[in-house]
Structure 1
Amino acid sequence: MIRWLFALLLVALPATAAEEVVLGLSQSEVAITTNFNGSEIFVFGAIKRDAPMPEGDMGVIVTISGPPVPVSVRKKERRFGIWVNTDVVEIEAAPSYYAVATSGPLEDVLSTRENILRKVSVPSMIQSISAPTTVLDATGYVNALIRIRENAEAFQLLEGQVVVDDDTLFRTRIKLPAALTEGAYQTRILLTRDGAVVDQYQTAIDVRKVGLERWLYSLSRNQPFLYGLMSLAIAIFAGWSASAAFSLLRN
């Protein structure tokens, strides 16, 4: 009986990974200033092995995910000669930014099962969709959101953009757009063999406003009344300055 229990315990113990991801980042922080127009993250690393390289096709996937935010997707229809909002689909959580870079076509380096389990592809990151009974196909609203954010470079699928050298070293560059949400941008590196994930490394990139941007942001959140008065004063001063300038030009 004891031998059987010992054998079952050995089977239940996790096996030591033969391959391990060692990661590097060009920067772990992104500062948003008044003249911030985007940034580029250089992701690089190596694959550490404590045994000969296993058989099977190897793949490397890099994902960067911004803070999740709720999104309302509305449908517009033309009625009585004007465009109006009709149905709306509420999405409880969608990443404000999401990029996937792979060493090959995504369907080749990651199986469908692993994709669902790890939530790697863009659609798998969009969760908790609430739609009214008048909406028969909420998928169309999700596809519209993905299309809009892809055009704004907030969602990126970069297939074949991870370069792997000698089955050991890998590197890629991922562009961050100018419109970024503050917070921790979760970064994952997945190492796969024949579509199955054999190791994963996770870290975070901190994106924060600094300088005047940080002061204005904090003021609007912590003292909204004062922020409103200051905005009103600036608007009045700007209007008076423009009026005075036009008066001088007329004279």
Structure 2
Amino acid sequence: MVRSAFLAAFLALSTLICLPAPGQAVEEEVVLGLSQDRVAITADFDGSEILIFGAVKRQSPIPEGPPLEVIVAVSGPNSPVTVRRKAKRMGIWVNTESVIVDSAPSFYAIATSAPFSEVISDTEDLRYRVSIARAIRSVGAAMNIADAQDFADAVVRIREDEGLYSLRENTVAVDQQTLFRSAIDMPADVTEGHYAARIFLTRAGRVVSSFETEIDVRKVGLERFLYGLSREQPFLYGLMSLAIAVAAGWGASAAFRLLRNN
């Protein structure tokens, strides 16, 4: 009864857009739903959880063989990142070398229905760039820089420590190889922009179907106004900030003077 109710509610709410894997016959397709496709960043925003749920549409019975596995990957806006290496020179830590990582997502979360190495092969991972390491693109570095890959690894390590990159194995629930669901937690310091949500269906490590949609993450209200003002009219924003600082200082001084007199 519960399973039937869930499926009925899902079919009523989800967007029926299905994309087969390139070059593959349409045998199993993704039908996806999101609990929300827009995240509003406000003054008291402390993170958000997005429920991702879906079903597998088939024109024939469930294929025999390895079970169906599901991968959910949500990535934030990509941008270049400058990574610097520090070294100790004459007792002082200084920047010695730097590498520009050409493209790194501001946020990247992967949820899988089984251990990552079991749900997708290395060849398919290379093709679809699913893993965190392959989602980061670093075209090249100067020839005199040793261990250039360490700079891309540093981006991953730092953002994992900040909760911006994560791999969550065994967190996608798959019911009877037909229904699946998972939840992606977004931290409070997410970057504004369009987030790509990709879903992959795999069997024996091979991608049999994929789906992609967008989640819009935007500042709203006063935060949106101040952000736009700082970008579009920086001089006016600076004057306003100065006026607020002067008013706050004068107010604090007046309050302390009043308390001293009393």
Structure 1 stretches (4+) deviating beyond 6 angstroms?
none
Match of 1:47 among 32, 56, 59: 56
Match of 1:102 among 105, 108, 112: 112
Q: Deviations over 1:12-56 (max 9, x none)?
A: xx5531111111100010000111110000000111111111122
Change (3 A) 1:84 1:199: same
- State whether structure 2 residue 80 is matched by structure 1 residue 78: no
Task: Give the aligned CA root-mean-square deviation in angstroms.
Answer: 1.6
Q: Deviations over 1:43-87 (max 9, x none)?
A: 001111111111223210000010001111112223333332221
Matched residues in 2 for 1:237 and 1:82: separation? 41
Change (3 A) 1:131 1:41: same
Identify unmatched segments of 5+ residues in structure 1.
Answer: 1-13
Q: CA deviation at 1:152?
A: 1.0
Contact 1:89 1:129 in 2 (8 A): no
Secondary structure at 1:84's aligned position in 2? strand
Matched residues in 1 for 2:53 and 2:134: separation? 25
Q: CA deviation at 1:249?
A: 3.7
Match of 1:199 in 2: 209
Match of 1:17 in 2: 26
- State whether structure 2 residue 152 is matched by structure 1 residue 142: yes
Matched residues in 1 for 2:76 and 2:245: separation? 33
Contact 2:138 2:152 in 1 (8 A): no
Match of 2:247 in 1: 237
Matched residues in 2 for 1:129 and 1:86: separation? 20
Q: Deviations over 1:178-201 (max 9, x none)?
A: 111111100011000110100001
How many pairs are equivalent?
239
Secondary structure at 1:51's aligned position in 2? coil
TM-score (norm 2): 0.87
Q: For residue 86 of structure 1, what is the amino acid of its counterpart?
A: T
Deviates more, 1:46-55 or 1:191-200: 46-55
Contact 1:88 1:132 in 2 (8 A): no
Secondary structure at 1:30's aligned position in 2? strand
Q: For residue 147 of structure 1, what is the amino acid of its counterpart?
A: R
Identify unmatched segments of 5+ residues in structure 2.
Answer: 1-22
Q: Deviations over 1:165-219 (max 9, x none)?
A: 1111111111001111111100011000110100001110011110001000111
TM-score (norm 1): 0.90
Matched residues in 2 for 1:172 and 1:224: separation? 42
